[in-house]
A and B are shown apart, each in its own frame.
Chain A
Amino acid sequence: MVLEVKKPRPVWEILFSTHHTDIGLLYVYLALTAFIMGGALALVIRTELFLPGHQMGLVPDSTTFHRIFTVHGTNMLFLWLLPFASGIGNYLIPIMVRYKDMAWPKLNAVAFWMIPVGMALIWLGWSDTSWYGYPPYSTIRAPGPAAEMWIFGLKILGISSILGAINFVVTILRMKHPDLPLMKIPLFVWATLITSLMILVAMPTFAAALIMLYTDRLGVSGFFNPAMGGDPIAYQHLFWFTFHPEVYIFLIPAVGMVYEIVPKFSRKPIFSYQSGVTAFVLLAIVGFSSWAHHMYSTGMTFTEKTVFMVGTLAAVPASAMHVFNWMATMWGGRIRFRAPMAFAVGGIVLFFFAGAGGIVNTAMPLDFLTHDSYWVVGHFHLFVMGQITFSFVGFLLYFLPFITGRMYNERLAMVTFWFMFIGTSLIFLTQHVTGLYGQPRRTFDYVPVQPLIILNQISTVGAWITGTSAALLLANLFHSVARGKPANMDDPFGIGEKYYDYARREPHH
């Protein structure tokens, strides 16, 4: 098949476009930029911790270090995970539900263009509140315009994701082709629908909390200031009511992407479509019942702790159902380990470890051992890096021929996968042990004893390996977009399956 080289379109035409494919790609570009920038910060963090004490010349002082991990966290969650999922959603949802565009194309463009503004506020603000901004530190101690810029940045990103979510819900429920019943749409559409509904429930709470935080900073209110009769713990409840479901908001699109990849490369239909949908819905509902398991150590009563432990454990079977579904799909399938499949399977393996660690965090007595230690850092990074980022990268490679008509370099992609898998395991599985030795998270320095030094060095080496893999991935993407081999659009991966069977049509108008 000969690649039709289209005339390149002028940049402004793409920037001012409201077409869903253009917006989707803009989201993806922005997300990848944020991934690289946030990853660079992560490398600085890990390199600083390679040796105990202060590494001269890398980070001038501890406040700069705190600013680095704050921006790293905020950036990775809100500028990498959310926009990437929205980007793929924007590109694919209208195609998958067979409508010409998103329901409100202009709103879609507005929602996208709020993100660079929020990104600029967060990166230029360079706040040191850490990504959760717990008061009283964030209201009475955090310096200068930085914390305000962080609050406004998050506010704008929150509004953007609410607008995007409304658009997705309306597109899927109202603009769906009448011949396409809801129980026939691809699981990725279900994932986006559930995610968007969760955003609509969760985000307004945090929006309120941010306003309260801001008026507290101005000194006109004292919601979270004990000196004015407020309660710092109230903020934590509002925050985690949004951000515990938020981890499922990050997770579910990734799960939807794995559902696209696994059956294709196993050359077998999905084991159970229905259980996938059920698990999404269950996860969305139960995800809201577990927010306070981040707060056992704030002095909760035994009853409160019990309630939230049960709520958290209740979320596990839904995730387990997804994993079972993938395993059962692969079971007896004629699996082809092309790079997207490798990333999906690697993600599932790390997802399993993350889930097992999560059960340990949930069990009340063990939580007091692991809470706010590097165990937690390792645990949630296994989710966001292990499961979610692996699925995203896998889906990006899977999706590349569809967008560009060109093929990535398979061998380089497999090398990337092994680097990323080994690196990620080295960093985050090790960090679980680091946490059990008592190293607190968010520290500039640690107690200089032999086990901690060695564990931190293993993590840092893992981080460098992962950094290398990200560079390889980027090189592969640039090379294949510019001069990759033209892909065979019927079956680019050579797996003997039809590549993309949703009503195919020319992406550009």
Chain B
Amino acid sequence: MGHATIEWVYVAVVIALLIYVGADAWNVERKLDETPPNAQLIKVTAQQWFWTFEHENGTQEIGQLHVVKGVPYRFEVTSRDVNHAFNIPDFSTLIDAVPGRINNVWTIFDQSGQYLIQCREYCGFSHYQMRAKLFVEEPSSNSTSATKPVDLTPSVGATALTG
């Protein structure tokens, strides 16, 4: 079986590569899975075809979300009717919004600007328009939001929403 050796070597290399990918992914995901204890809570409710956000202090927003740069946020995501997916592409945040369930995801916004929140799970007629605006603001002493125009990071979402 002369030609079997080379095949075993090849299979071993493939398996080693996969173990590397798997171990690395496991390691990263383990860190991402832990929500920081000081994270602020935002309740996200999806329904056909818009987003509702409720901050910890009771403030509610529809179709837009104001957050502060550098603060960890925990999102509790659920849905009123069909499956949706809460997605902020610029911060790789994604979790399904499933009726009857509350799913958790957390993120830190490390750049100020305007970004896009969208639905990534097919949810019917206006799925493609199920978007919201995300405003990431600089932490400032005067808490009146959006007094000066924040620096617009040239991201896909930002250019679309301002244009």
Contact = CB atoms under 8 A, between A and B. Distances in A.
Given A271-B3, A299-B98, A363 B21 contact: yes
A350 to B, nearest CB: 19
Contacts of A8: none
Contact of B14 (A141, A310, A316): A316
A316 B163 contact: no
B92 A447 contact: no
A277 to B, nearest CB: 13
Interface string B99-143: 111011000000000001011111111111101000000000000
A137 B46 CA distance: 14
Contacts of A66: 122, 124-125, 127
A507 interface: no
Contacts of B82: 136-137, 140-141
B96 A443 contact: no
Nearest to A360: B21
A301 B156 CA distance: 31
A299 B104 contact: yes
B26 A324 contact: no
A389 B99 CA distance: 38
A305 B126 CA distance: 31
Contact of A62 (B14, B83, B126): B126
Contacts, number: 165
Contacts of B128: 62, 440, 443-446
Nearest to B48: A141
B32 interface: yes
B10 A368 contact: no
Interface stretch (A31-39, A157-165, A172-180, A448-456): A448-456
Interface stretch (A192-200, A369-377, A401-409, A460-468): A369-377
Contacts of B25: 309, 362-366
A364 B25 CA distance: 6
Interface string B80-97: 011101010110111110
A196 B51 CA distance: 45
Interface in A184-230: 226-227
A233 interface: yes
B7 interface: yes
Interface residues on B, range: 35 or more
Given A440-B120, A452-B156, A226 B94 contact: no
A272 to B, nearest CB: 6
Contacts of A445: 128-129
Interface centre among B26, B85, B119 (most CB of A within 10 A): B26
A362 B25 CA distance: 9
Interface string A289-333: 000000001110010011001100100110011001000100000
Given A134-B83, A317-B14, A328 B3 contact: yes
A272 B156 contact: no
A140 B121 CA distance: 16
A141 B126 CA distance: 13
Interface string B23-64: 011101110110000000000000010000000000000000
A72 B156 CA distance: 29
A357 interface: no
A268 to B, nearest CB: 12
B9 to A, nearest CB: 10
Interface in A43-74: 62-63, 66
A272 B29 contact: no
B92 A369 contact: yes
A438 interface: yes
Contact of B103 (A298, A317, A366): A298
Contacts of A328: 3, 6-7
B15 interface: yes
Given A62-B126, A440-B119, A272 B7 contact: yes
Contacts of B124: 66, 128, 137, 141
A231 interface: yes
A442 B131 CA distance: 15
A232 interface: yes
Contact of B81 (A141, A233, A448): A141
A275 interface: yes
A304 to B, nearest CB: 11
Nearest to B103: A299
Given A298-B98, A359-B21, A137 B83 contact: yes
Contact of B26 (A306, A320, A371, A452): A306
Interface of B: 3-4, 6-7, 10-11, 14-15, 18, 21-22, 24-26, 28-30, 32-33, 48, 81-83, 85, 87, 89-90, 92-96, 98-101, 103-104, 116, 118-129, 131, 156-157, 159-160, 163
28 contacts: A62-B125, A134-B122, A136-B82, A141-B124, A226-B99, A231-B101, A232-B98, A297-B94, A299-B101, A305-B29, A309-B26, A313-B18, A316-B18, A317-B11, A317-B14, A317-B18, A320-B14, A363-B24, A365-B28, A366-B25, A368-B92, A372-B121, A438-B116, A438-B118, A438-B156, A442-B122, A447-B160, A449-B160
Interface of A: 62-63, 66, 128, 130, 134, 136-137, 140-141, 226-227, 231-233, 271-272, 275, 297-299, 302, 305-306, 309-310, 313, 316-317, 320-321, 324, 328, 359, 362-366, 368-369, 371-373, 437-438, 440-452
Q: Which 8 A-B pairs have the closest CB atoms?
A: A438-B89, A226-B100, A299-B103, A363-B25, A447-B160, A364-B29, A443-B128, A137-B82
Given A305-B29, A362-B25, 5 more contacts: A134-B122, A316-B18, A363-B25, A372-B94, A448-B163
